[in-house]
Structure formats: structure tokens, C-alpha cells
Structure 1
């Protein structure tokens, strides 16, 4: 009945986790929801004022397919400052969030049969969109290298069919920040092997403990002709529901993006466009600094709570706003009815026993991982993580007793 492509992927794993949390809450449970990829925050005053002004002016007509020219010019100035290179408005496209920017890139760059390298664990949408375009995701495991890919591992999977590599730094879900040496190595590979780099930097403003967000085109300007920068205001301004993203790329690619966007969504929401434009013109950085301070404090409080974990190492948490737990020390020895357990089992236990919702690493290609967001209200974060610690440490005790008795576990 459905198109064959629908057999290649299902709904977003993160969306499914949110739905499970909402269903539990609707059933009367008190839930601490650590699933969401968003920051709990009020609007930036400049965003609110820009939106109100647009509404009062009756701005309710179509804009250019890829966004207001004034907004694209402002974004070109922003990207120029961030990369240290001059960008023009015709190298920018405004989209309905970063997800549409990535979809546009997949549809304009990837031919059926092309391979796209995606380091794992990965944001669930990366491989899904490659498959929609008819391509094949090729994953490389980064867990043994602090969730940053090794250049040798990337080289090993490149074939004549390889078209692109996805670089997501700071990374969702792992929180890893790619170092300059790794990014320079990826840039050199792209130039040597005629590859595109799809550079997703949506979490770029949020790095911690001396880690720095590097932009690949700044480190290797010569790779700019083969790079697409994808970004959004969903994270940096806590505007997930407003759906304003953008991409920066060579002019020829932007022209192709405009053509495909004209047949999908057309222009992004006009009020949201004007709100972001007003912020880019009038914002003084105070809101962004407050948001960064909020996340920095939440991260520190969360790490303190998680320091009580046994046999689960402390998360990387170098950037973004997720704690990504490696559960392999708990799961590898465990069986249930003859079947190996995965993070899905722990996620189910957390929801049922502690009223805490997290996202299983199976959504990210890693059955041993668990993603917990610390973008939630601070008064919920510490109690929620304390419940996580309690369940995981209890799982650990049962695991040891069970293994001593019969080599299996049934928590």
C-alpha cells in the first residue's frame, strides 16, 4: 500500500521517546522528561518584539522562497564573522528549521546509490534523509575514541560511491566536540577524494571546560567549495517551535535548494523570519550569554548528580546540552529470556520505576547508549538525574548477584 521507501526507516526515535513520556504523563504518572532536544527558556525580548512588530504591520504574504533578502544578508554577515570569510546573500538559504536544510542538501547532492559517511552514534534524521534521497548511510563507530571519528576509520570506508561525510559538532547525541586536527583531516580527505562535507553546527554556541567549536571552512578555507554549513536558531535562541534554520553553501547549490524548496514548503514562516531579522539587527548578545550560563550551571549540577553512578563512566558532555551515558558495563553481561539486553530495556525501566524519560541509544545506532537532556527546567533536572542514578545503580547490584548465581539477570 505504501511507497517502498517507507520500509527503509520509521518515525524519529527522539520523537517516539517524547511520545512515550507524554503518554505516561497522560496516564497520571509524574514524569521528568529528559528526552527533548530543546532548552527550557523564555523568548529573547528582541525575538518577541520583532514578531509583534511584524504582526502589527500585517506582514502575512509570501517572501522569497529561500527567505527575505534582508534576512539572508544579515545571515551572510553573521556567517562571515563566524568563519572569517566573506559570504554573500546568494550563498545563504533560509529554511523551516535545520531539518529542512539537511533535507534540501540530501535531495540536491545525493544520487541513488551514493554513499554518505555518518559517524555513530548519530542524530536519527541523518541516515533517514540519506535513504529518502536514495543513498546509503555508511556508519563508523566512534565510541572508542571519545565519540570523535578517527581519520583512518573514515578512510577505510571510502569507496568510489562515497559522496559526502556528515560532520556534526558539537555532536548530538554524544556531546563530543571535534578537535581542530580531526576537522583538518576530514577537510583534506574531502579535497583528496572529491567529497562533500555536510557540516551541522546547530549546537555550536554551547561548549564547555575549554573546548572550542571549530568551523571546518575556517581551518581549511580551500574546502569551502565542497562544504555545506547547516545551522538554525532552534538551539541558540531556544526557538525550536519557530522553525527557522539556514544553510550556507556555494551559489550553485543554493540555486538548486531554492528550486526544491519551491516545490516542498516554499518560504519559511514570515513572522518568524522578521523576528529573527530583528534579533540579528538589535540583539546585544545578552540573551545568548544568559542561555549559555543556564546550560553551564545545569551541566555542572547534572555532572555532580551523575558522579554517583557505578560502572557507568561519566559522560563526555563537551558541548550541546545532553548527557550521553555508555551503558555497556551494565548491559553486555545481561540476558533476559535468552536475549541480550539493550538500552531500550533501561529506558523502559527508568520510565516505569522512576518516572524518568530518556532516549535509548538504539535511536542513534548505539544499543548501549542513553541520552538525557539537561535543557529542562533546573528544578526538575537534579531530582530526575538522582532517580536515574538510583535505577542504574540498583540494576548494577542485581546484575552482580544474578551473574554470581546463574549468569543472567532479570531486573
Structure 2
């Protein structure tokens, strides 16, 4: 018999969407997969050089549980520059991607019965990890405010059991970028109510003009002692498969994370660590800027095509690399004609009729949303979005 906790969560909704797409493709149907949270790209030369050098040096031993000290110092310098505040190596934990950083945060902060506020729609892993830790996710609806939580809604949800707020900007799946004033108000709420802030900024490199990403500890330095910063290089350097990220926060939290990580994964992959260290020490911003331009070009192309949608508003796509389609009006029209459907039905129709794989908003706690990644090849994106537009424009 399986452990009781296994009934509390399911496999990742995004992973399930990708699996469904592959299954249809295996039957011989052409499928354009817009489900994955990654950018199709070559690896940065500085990262490759670091990995190859480490392999040639026969690097294959354990490092410190929290990662190479040289890498932690390099990350501290990076975060110091980004936040305009000094950070030290003992405030940094190198992790096997952002998921482990988030899992570590949940496991060292959340007690059974604690509540954690999560704006919805949400990345599917946020509530799953809180549940694994024994906590209770409390969802804050954001659709009425362009997918940005209002502080009044957050404050109304705080109880004596509330332990933390998850803040994800630029947001996955919606692409919303939280304004400076919003972050300041959220930080003040956390201070006033004695809450932790789990700040996921994995898409920080992709805030699209005129929107800007603001680290919350820059906006509200007085909230730093209750803030954990989660980031990775999966998006900013297109290194999803390398599984390398970090958690930054108070020394006491990082010390607890070290003890936890020593009993789970131990240190992250040593070759990935050396590759990243080489990039941080000797690389430059050229690759990341090229990646940002490529994503910006894809966004421009996609918005141009999706502007032809008639029953669905053109997504704002303020940050990240997802188009999040709001099906509310489409559902309203269908309900008027006694033809109810949800996002799962739309995603299935796109897969079977248009040959385009998307992620249903039900994976993100939203039955009226569809997520489309634009991190793919531009020609494929063009073809896929034209198919999506054609199909949805028949659903009126």
C-alpha cells in the first residue's frame, strides 16, 4: 500500500500535457508542442566550456552540500548586483533547479496545518509542495485584477494559521509582471502579519517593455529578513535539463536547508556547478541578451497573430514566454447557447483538430485559461498560433 500522502497530489499538469502531446504524435499525427516551459536554444559557449573543462579535469567528487563555495560567492555577487544589497555565500544554497529550492523552502518553513497564500492561477508545483510539507494552500483569485493579486484580497485571506505568501513575478502561467507599488504593499503586509515571503523570480530575465522586474528585497529592504529568493538558470540561460538553481535567504534558513538537502539530494550536479561558475566568472551578457531578443521577437510575432482572435482577448504577455488565453467570454457565449465547456475541452480540441499541444488552465487552478509557450522555433510558433486562432474563432 502506498503512503497516504500520495493521494494528496498528482503529477505535474504541464508534464501531463507534454506526455499527451507525445502520445498523439506517436500515432503519426503532426503535433506542434507549446506545452514546455523552456526555450529552444543552443547552450551558451561559456557554459559548455566550463562543463568540458571540468570533465577534462576529471571532476567527479562530492562538493559541499550547498554547492561549491566559489559558486556560492559568485552567486552572492550576482544577487548583490541585482538587488543593490550585499549578500554573502552563507546566505546562498545551490540547488538542483528552482523546484528543489522551493521544496527546501516549504520543508523548512511549513508545519502541518500552516496556511500559505498562493495567487491563482498558479504554477502547479507551488500548492503540491506545500501539501507535501503538510501545509494548506490558500488560493487568491487574481483574474478580476489582470492576474495580479490585490493586497486587500491577500489581507482578507490571512488567518492565525497563515505562514507565508508565494510571490511569482513575472508570473507563470499568466505572464503578469507585478508593479513596484504592488510588491511594496505585499511586503508590508508580510511584515505587519509576521509572514514569510517566498519570492520566485525564475522569469526575471524576461520582463517585456514597458514592464520591469523588481526584486522584492530591493523594493522593500526591511522585508529581507523574512524573504526567500528562488531562481534558476533554466530560463535565463536556457538550461532546463542541467537542473541548477539557488535559494537565497537568511543564514538560519540556509543552515536548515543544508541539513535537509544533506538527506535528500546532497550537492547539485558537480559538472553543472562548474559550468555555471565558469559562466559567472568569465562569461558575459551576450548570450542572455540574444535569448531575450529571440523571446521578444517570438512575443511580437505571436501577439500579431493572436490579435486576430475574436472571442478571446489578446493576452498581455507582460513577462516570461507564455501566452495565457482568457476563455471567460468564450465560455459565457457558449453557456448562453447551452453549450458548456472548460479549458480541458479547448486544449483537447486544439490537440486533435489543430495539432497544437497546449496546457489547460485546470492545471493552474483555472478552468477558463489556456497556456501556450512561445519559446519554440519561430516558424513552428507561426504555424501553431495560426491554427489556434482559426480553431478558436469557430467557437463563437
Q: TM-score category by the smaller chain?
A: over 0.9
Residue 69 (structure 2) pairs with residue 69 (structure 1): yes
> Could you list the per-position Cα deviations for residues 167-191 of structure 1 after superposition, in whole angstroms to 9, with x for gaps in the alignment?
0000000000000111000110111
- Structure 1 residue matching 2:287: 3-state secondary structure: helix
Tell me how far apart the structure 2 counterparts of residues 308 and 274 of structure 1 sit (CA, whole Å).
47
Tell me how far apart the structure 2 counterparts of residues 168 and 224 of structure 1 sit (CA, whole Å).
16
For normalisation by structure 2, the TM-score amounts to 0.99
Structure 1 equivalent of residue 260 of structure 2: 260
Contact kept? 1:39, 1:376, Cα under 8 Å = yes
Q: What do you get for the CA RMSD once the two structures are aligned? A: 1.3
> Could you list the per-position Cα deviations for residues 361-394 of structure 1 after superposition, in whole angstroms to 9, with x for gaps in the alignment?
0000000000000000111001100000011001
Superposition deviation, residue 340 in structure 1: 3.5
- Structure 1 residue matching 2:204: 3-state secondary structure: coil
Tell me how far apart the structure 2 counterparts of residues 102 and 142 of structure 1 sit (CA, whole Å).
22
Residue 79 (structure 2) pairs with residue 79 (structure 1): yes
Tell me how far apart the structure 2 counterparts of residues 259 and 25 of structure 1 sit (CA, whole Å).
44
1:134-283 paired onto structure 2 within 5 Å: 134-283=134-283
Tell me how far apart the structure 1 counterparts of residues 350 and 117 of structure 2 sit (CA, whole Å).
33
- Structure 2 residue matching 1:55: 3-state secondary structure: helix
Tell me how far apart the structure 2 counterparts of residues 72 and 284 of structure 1 sit (CA, whole Å).
18
Structure 1 equivalent of residue 121 of structure 2: 121
> Could you list the per-position Cα deviations for residues 52-76 of structure 1 after superposition, in whole angstroms to 9, with x for gaps in the alignment?
0000000001111110000000000
Contact kept? 2:244, 2:272, Cα under 8 Å = yes
1:10-409 paired onto structure 2 within 5 Å: 10-334=10-334, 340-396=340-396
Superposition deviation, residue 6 in structure 1: 1.3
Superposition deviation, residue 9 in structure 1: 1.1
How many residues in Structure 1 have an aligned counterpart in Structure 2? 396
Superposition deviation, residue 332 in structure 1: 3.4
Gaps of at least 5 residues in structure 2 are: none
- Structure 1 residue matching 2:140: 3-state secondary structure: strand
For normalisation by structure 1, the TM-score amounts to 0.95
Tell me how far apart the structure 1 counterparts of residues 130 and 6 of structure 2 sit (CA, whole Å).
13
Tell me how far apart the structure 2 counterparts of residues 110 and 88 of structure 1 sit (CA, whole Å).
25
Tell me how far apart the structure 2 counterparts of residues 212 and 342 of structure 1 sit (CA, whole Å).
33
Superposition deviation, residue 334 in structure 1: 3.1
Contact kept? 2:207, 2:213, Cα under 8 Å = yes
Structure 2 equivalent of residue 407 of structure 1: none
Contact kept? 1:173, 1:322, Cα under 8 Å = yes
- Structure 1 residue matching 2:186: 3-state secondary structure: helix
Superposition deviation, residue 143 in structure 1: 0.6
Contact kept? 1:169, 1:200, Cα under 8 Å = yes
> Could you list the per-position Cα deviations for residues 91-147 of structure 1 after superposition, in whole angstroms to 9, with x for gaps in the alignment?
000000000000000000000000000000000000000000000000011011111
Superposition deviation, residue 5 in structure 1: 1.2
Superposition deviation, residue 311 in structure 1: 1.7
Superposition deviation, residue 3 in structure 1: 1.4
Distance 1:5 1:339, change over 3 A: farther
Gaps of at least 5 residues in structure 1 are: 397-411
